[in-house]
Amino acid sequence: MSRLRRESSRQSVITVELIQFIIQYNAQETQEKKKRRLADEDDELSEVQPDAVPPEVREWLASTFTRQMATTRTRSDEKPRFRSVAHAIRAGIFVDRIYRRVSSSTLMQFPPDVVKLLKNLDEWTFDVFALTEAASGQVIKYVAYDLLNRYGAMHKFKIAPGVLETFLHRVEEGYCRYRNPYHNNLHAVDVMHTMHYCLCNTGLMNWLTDLEIFASLLAALLHDFEHTGTTNNFHVMSGSETALLYNDRAVLENHHVSASFRLMRDDEANILSHLSREEFKELRTLIIDMVLATDMTYHFQQLKIMRNLLTLQEPTIDKSKALSLVLHCCDISHPAKHWDVHHRWTMLLLEEFFRQGDLEKELGLPFSPLCDRKNTLVAESQIGFIDFIVEPSMSIMSDMLEHILAPIAPVIKTKPAPLTEEAVGVAEPEGDDAKLSTTCPMMRKSIASSANKFTINKPWLTCLTENKKIWKEQAIKDAEARALLAAAEAAAEPEADDKKPAAETESGEQKETATEA
């Protein structure tokens, strides 16, 4: 008995020591991690200091895409599970079959013009502005319904059509609440569409389970739910209720995800009611991770982690991190779309910024970067945004997707590699396998395009180059117009020498307002 007690007491000593060691080790680890992160941030900050960018644009980039404070979220790294090609092909067919079945048995009535426009949903640039007219402004109602159907989510997770309609109606309402020019239901659909493109046309969906696909689509749909049309910085600076609730950290992102799950608590709108407890937990964790990572201040950290990971010999890419990066890229993808659509988004976003600037003026707060109607370099800001944010993000996302999908692709490549897309159709196996061609045309094309290295199709590359070219021309014109205006003003006021420069007058006015407030 006594030996047993001695034995057990020795064991407990070991256990206590062991626990103490683990606690100390973890504390050291956390400190190390924190130090490493801060060092990383310093490195990345230097990347937004190029002389080529006007100071105002640099300030906007730094204030929007870097962060001072952060919460450390630890998560065990999950090993990627690569699936067989047979499965990849099945997944493609599954989507195709579900789509056919549902579209033949009409669950919700789609206006004919909407149906016509939804046919473009597989393209890289989808004109949501054209759709909103045909859909009487209810773009979420149709696009989200159609996409959730296509991926078989309604069938797989037993979502009743009426519940889905109610849910989507409320999501649409939430997005329209603040009548924002940019962060509204159209932006939600734009991001969800881009997520669909990434899932389907690159082949990413073949790496994911049905639940992960469902989570990705939902996260994209809900990522800006009830956006107030103002930035996190504005919430913090004005001391809003939401900033108070979330302690100034990822204020809007926390709200988007929290309000979304609150919405789904109501039975009438609960599209998750048939998920098992485990499925719900997994989906919720993924959505929280993905939406919180859309906080733009995580941008450089997120990119750096992925970039470093991809330099390793055998990188293990965590699904949550991969999908978070994809969602972040979808969120900032409009400069990578066709000019007409990109230009429209830019003007809408700037109008939203200007409205915030108007509010800041009213409240006696200093203007946030790009929020002053009278003093914003539109073309330059977009060039900086493309050069330092969008292009690097899309590039790392492409590398990541090619790395993830390469192990799935080679087996498909054993088929004869044809030179043209038409020839791919001929080489496709007969029967069900042939249907893949209608589901993922881009994926097939890119597989055919390289015999050795798997590459995805990157339609954003040409758009980015083209858009940057147009903005550069615009920047020159704008500079000329500003010079002409300044010359005309100088000519109209001969005693201009006595006056202060415009910038000084502006800041002087601001100071007065601030003192009054």
Binding residues for AMP: 183-187, 224, 331, 382
Residue 338 in contact with residue 125, Cβ under 8 Å? Answer: yes
User: Residue 327 or residue 475: which is nearer to Zn ion going by CB?
Assistant: 327
Q: Annotated catalytic, 299?
A: no
Q: Distance between CA atoms of 325 and 317, rounded to whole angstroms?
A: 11
Q: How many chain residues are in contact with Zn ion, going by CB under 5 A?
A: 2
User: Residue 224 or residue 318: which is nearer to Zn ion going by CB?
Assistant: 224
Among 96, 172, 224, 380, binds Zn ion (CB under 5 A): 224
Shortest distance, position 187 Cβ to Zn ion, whole Å: 6
Q: What is the DSSP letter of 34?
A: H
Shortest distance, position 256 Cβ to Zn ion, whole Å: 9
Q: Distance between CA atoms of 324 and 286, rounded to whole angstroms?
A: 9
Name 309's Cβ contacts closer than 8 Å, sequence gap at least 6. 315, 316, 317
The interface region with Zn ion, picked from 172-180, 331-339, 454-462, 507-515 by CB under 5 A, is 331-339
Binding site as annotated, residues for Zn(2+): 187, 223-224, 331
- Give me the amino acid identity at 434: A
Which DSSP helix (H) or strand (E) runs through 513?
helix 502-516
Shortest distance, position 347 Cβ to Zn ion, whole Å: 17
CA distances from 91 to 194, 389, 432 (A): 19, 33, 11
User: Residue 329 or residue 440: which is nearer to Zn ion going by CB?
Assistant: 329
Shortest distance, position 224 Cβ to Zn ion, whole Å: 4
Among 96, 146, 172, 331, binds Zn ion (CB under 5 A): 331
Catalytic residue among 183, 193, 256, 343: 183
The interface region with Zn ion, picked from 42-50, 106-114, 129-137, 217-225 by CB under 5 A, is 217-225
Shortest distance, position 227 Cβ to Zn ion, whole Å: 7
**Alpha-helix runs per DSSP H in 374-420:** 378-385, 391-405, 409-413
Q: Distance between CA atoms of 320 and 38, rounded to whole angstroms?
A: 22
Which DSSP helix (H) or strand (E) runs through 379?
helix 378-385
User: Residue 183 or residue 444: which is nearer to Zn ion going by CB?
Assistant: 183
The interface region with Zn ion, picked from 246-254, 328-336, 399-407, 439-447 by CB under 5 A, is 328-336
Shortest distance, position 228 Cβ to Zn ion, whole Å: 13
Residues 191, 228, 300, 377, CA torsion sign: positive
How far, in whole angstroms, is CA 144 from its chain's centroid? 16
Residue 354 in contact with residue 371, Cβ under 8 Å? Answer: yes
**Cβ-count burial of 437 within 10 angstroms (0-12 exposed, 13-18 middle, 19+ buried)?**
middle
The interface region with Zn ion, picked from 154-162, 219-227, 243-251, 509-517 by CB under 5 A, is 219-227
Binding site as annotated, residues: 183-187, 223-224, 331, 382
User: Residue 331 or residue 391: which is nearer to Zn ion going by CB?
Assistant: 331
Q: Distance between CA atoms of 176 and 141, rounded to whole angstroms?
A: 13
How far, in whole angstroms, is CA 342 from its chain's centroid? 16
Q: Distance between CA atoms of 472 and 462, rounded to whole angstroms?
A: 15
User: Residue 224 or residue 352: which is nearer to Zn ion going by CB?
Assistant: 224
- Residues belonging to the active site: 183
Q: Which residues bind Zn ion (CB under 5 A)?
A: 224, 331
